[in-house]
Amino acid sequence: MDIIYLNDLEIETIIGIFDWERKVKQKVRVSLEMAADIRKAARSDNIEDTLNYKSVAKRLIDFVGNSEFQLVETLAERIADIIINEFHIPWVRVRLNKPGAVRYAGDVGVIIERGSK
Region of 94 (left: φ > 0; alpha: ψ -120 to 50; beta: rest) is beta
What are the E-state strand segments in the chain?
2-15, 26-36, 68-69, 91-99, 107-115
The answer to whether 98 is a known catalytic residue is yes
Q: Give the amino acid at 6.
A: L
Which listed residue (27, 54, 98, 117) is catalytic?
98
Give the residue numbers marked as catalytic: 98
